[in-house]
Structure 1
Amino acid sequence: MQHDEPVLAIERREYSHPDVRRLIGQLQDLYVSIYGGSDESPIDDADFQPPRGVFAVGYIDDEPVAMGAWRSVESAGGSGRGRGELKRMFVDERYRGRSYSGAILSWLENSAREHGVTFMILETNLNHPTAIALYRSAGYRDIPNYGHYANNPRTVSLGRGLLPAS
Structure 2
Amino acid sequence: MRRIRHVTQDDPLAAPLLTELAIEYSLRYGRTAGEIRHELATYPAAEFAPPDGGLLIVIEDSEPVAGGAFRRYDTNTAELKRIWTAREHRRRGLGRLVLAELEAEIIRRGYSRIYLTTGPRQPEAVALYNAAGYTALGRVLEHEVGRLHPFEKYVPAGANPRPGSTAA
Tell me the CA shift for residue 143 of structure 1.
Answer: 2.1
Corresponding pairs, count: 151
Matched AA of 1:32: S
So what's the TM-score if we normalise by structure 2? Answer: 0.83
Q: Percent identity?
A: 28
SS at match of 1:151: strand
- CA deviations on 1:16-67 (whole Å, 9 max, x unpaired) are 1011122101100000011112274762100011111000000111100101
Cross-structure match for 1:18: 12
Q: How far apart are the structure 2 equivalents of 1:30 and 1:18? A: 19
Matched AA of 2:102: L
Q: How far apart are the structure 1 equivalents of 2:101 and 2:150? A: 21
SS at match of 2:129: helix
Tell me the CA shift for residue 144 of structure 1.
Answer: 5.7
- CA deviations on 1:134-161 (whole Å, 9 max, x unpaired) are 0110011122658xxx323521111111
Q: How far apart are the structure 2 equivalents of 1:145 and 1:47? A: 26
Cross-structure match for 2:63: 63
Give the root-mean-square deviation of aligned CA atoms.
1.8
So what's the TM-score if we normalise by structure 1? Answer: 0.84
Matched AA of 1:159: E
Q: Is the 1:145–1:155 contact (alpha carbons within 8 Å) kept by the matching residues of 2? A: no
Q: Is the 1:127–1:154 contact (alpha carbons within 8 Å) kept by the matching residues of 2? A: no
Matched AA of 1:155: L
Cross-structure match for 1:162: 155
Q: How far apart are the structure 2 equivalents of 1:54 and 1:24? A: 15
Q: How far apart are the structure 2 equivalents of 1:158 and 1:13? A: 25
SS at match of 1:16: coil
Structure 2 runs not aligned, ≥5 long: 161-168
Matched AA of 1:154: R
Q: How far apart are the structure 1 equivalents of 2:45 and 2:139? A: 24
Q: How far apart are the structure 2 equivalents of 1:144 and 1:44? A: 30
Tell me the CA shift for residue 72 of structure 1.
Answer: 0.6
With over 3 angstroms needed to count, the CA separation of the structure-2 counterparts of 1:115 and 1:145, relative to structure 1, is farther
Q: Is the 1:145–1:151 contact (alpha carbons within 8 Å) kept by the matching residues of 2? A: no
SS at match of 1:165: coil
Tell me the CA shift for residue 8 of structure 1.
Answer: 3.5
Tell me the CA shift for residue 162 of structure 1.
Answer: 1.5
Tell me the CA shift for residue 9 of structure 1.
Answer: 1.6
With over 3 angstroms needed to count, the CA separation of the structure-2 counterparts of 1:15 and 1:144, relative to structure 1, is farther
Q: How far apart are the structure 2 equivalents of 1:126 and 1:65? A: 24
Pair 1:151-2:156 in alignment = no
SS at match of 1:127: coil
1:123 to 117, 120, 132: 117
Structure 1 runs not aligned, ≥5 long: 1-6, 74-79
Q: Is the 1:124–1:156 contact (alpha carbons within 8 Å) kept by the matching residues of 2? A: yes
